[in-house]
Chains A and B, each alone.
Chain A
């Protein structure tokens, strides 16, 4: 069966510090991969998605970036965090015609 892992689960970082969140998927090959952000009390905002290694689509301009160095690995990064980057970051994968997403457990980032 397929599983998705995200880490770290919780992160507290100072403004201006770098960020790296990692996500890996097991049990499937060539999945579509996604990063969403959920601000407190709000819905999900799509940040990036990837349909293959090295292929990244960005949905909103921001100081975040994403990379997909391997088929089942998706990384969210920042060189310098802003206060507004605080939130709950969710990685997800999909495969197949019906397009449903399967989410990881999330990474809660607090920027102070």
Chain B
């Protein structure tokens, strides 16, 4: 079955850039997503990218997609303490109506 993998933890200093990485196995993925989860809350959609795109930028967020290597990354510029959360990547293939999520990367921002 399909699999989505992420590193578990990332620590950065306030003001630095954060890069969260994700790999996936399903070559038929059509859309890939990034979600943010704050403690005790549901998941908030940050952004998504269509599989025929290489990059998408939205304010401080930049998503890079390397379809050949099945690698997705989320870059957060000028990271703030409010960015501390768990970040999930997810993918969707045409055969299923649900998303498959990674285990999440906990981002800790040091003041």
Same complex origin of A and B: yes
Partner-B contacts on A (CB < 8 A): 32, 34, 36, 42-44, 46, 49, 51, 59, 90, 92, 94, 98-106, 108
CB pair A103 B44 closer than 8 Å: yes
CB pair B98 A34 closer than 8 Å: yes
User: Which residues of A lie under 8 Å from residue B82 when comparing CB positions?
Assistant: none
Main secondary structure of the interface of B (DSSP, over half): strand
From B4, B35, B43, B99, contact of A99 by CB (8 A): B99
CB pair A100 B45 closer than 8 Å: yes
CB pair A46 B98 closer than 8 Å: yes
From B42, B88, B99, contact of A105 by CB (8 A): B42
3 cross-chain pairs, A with B, having the tightest CB-CB distances, nearest first: A103-B42, A43-B103, A44-B101
CB pair A42 B45 closer than 8 Å: no
Partner-A contacts on B (CB < 8 A): 4, 30-31, 33, 35, 40-45, 48, 50, 88, 90, 92, 97-104
CB pair A98 B31 closer than 8 Å: yes
CB pair A101 B104 closer than 8 Å: no
In angstroms, how far is the closest chain A Cβ from the Cβ of B6?
Answer: 8
User: Which residues of B lie under 8 Å from residue A105 when comparing CB positions?
Assistant: 41-42
User: Which residues of B lie under 8 Å from residue A43 when comparing CB positions?
Assistant: 4, 88, 101-104
Q: How far is the CA of A34 from the CA of B43 in the complex (A)?
A: 13
User: Which residues of A lie under 8 Å from residue B35 when comparing CB positions?
Assistant: 103
User: Which residues of B lie under 8 Å from residue A59 when comparing CB positions?
Assistant: 98
CB pair B45 A102 closer than 8 Å: yes
Query: In this complex, what residue of A is CB-closest to B44?
Result: A103
CB pair B42 A90 closer than 8 Å: yes
Q: How far is the CA of A92 from the CA of B37 in the complex (A)?
A: 14
CB pair A98 B43 closer than 8 Å: no
In angstroms, how far is the closest chain B Cβ from the Cβ of A98?
Answer: 6
In angstroms, how far is the closest chain A Cβ from the Cβ of B53?
Answer: 12
Contact of A104 with B45 at beta-carbon distance under 8 Å, contacts A32-B97, A43-B101, A99-B97 already known:
no
User: Which residues of B lie under 8 Å from residue A99 when comparing CB positions?
Assistant: 30-31, 92, 97, 99
